[in-house]
Amino acid sequence: MCIFCKILAKEIPAEFLFENGDIVAFKDKYPKAKTHILIVPKKHIETIKDLKEDEEDEILVGKMFLVARDIAKGLKLDGYQTLFNVGRAGGQEVMHIHLHLMSHQ
C-alpha cells in the first residue's frame, strides 16, 4: 500500500482538514509554504499520466480543484498556488496523485 493509501486507511496519522466520499485533504508533513495542504483522491491513481479518459476521472480531478478552492476560502486565503507534480522527472515523490495547495498567507 502506498503512503497516502495508508494515511487514507488511518494506518499513518495526518492532520485532516477535509474528507468526503472520494477526496481527503490533510496537511503536508514537510511544508514548503506557510500553508501547505495536499488534496488526495481516495482512488489510488499513480500519476496524472495514468488518468483515464472517462467521466469518473475527469470529474474527480475537477472536484480536487473545488476542494482546494473551498479549503482556501475557509482559511481566508486571498491567493494561493495549486500544483500537480507529475512523474519522478516532474518532482513527484509520492506515486498517488495529489494536488498541492500552498500559500504564503
Give the binding site for Zn ion (CB under 5 A): 2, 4-5, 44, 96
Note whether 3 binds ligand 5GP by CB under 6 A: yes
**What positions carry a catalytic annotation?**
98
User: Degrees (nearest 5) of the Cα angle 83, 12, 18?
Assistant: 50
One residue of 28, 51, 63, 69 binding ligand 5GP per CB under 6 A? 28
Cell matching residue 85: 507534480
Q: d(Cα 28, Cα 15) in Å, to the nearest integer? A: 8
From its phi and psi, is residue 99 left (phi > 0), alpha (psi between -120 and 50) or beta? beta
One residue of 8, 24, 26, 60 binding ligand 5GP per CB under 6 A? 26
Give the interface with ligand 5GP as residue ranges (CB under 6 A).
Answer: 3, 12, 14, 26-30, 38, 85, 91-94
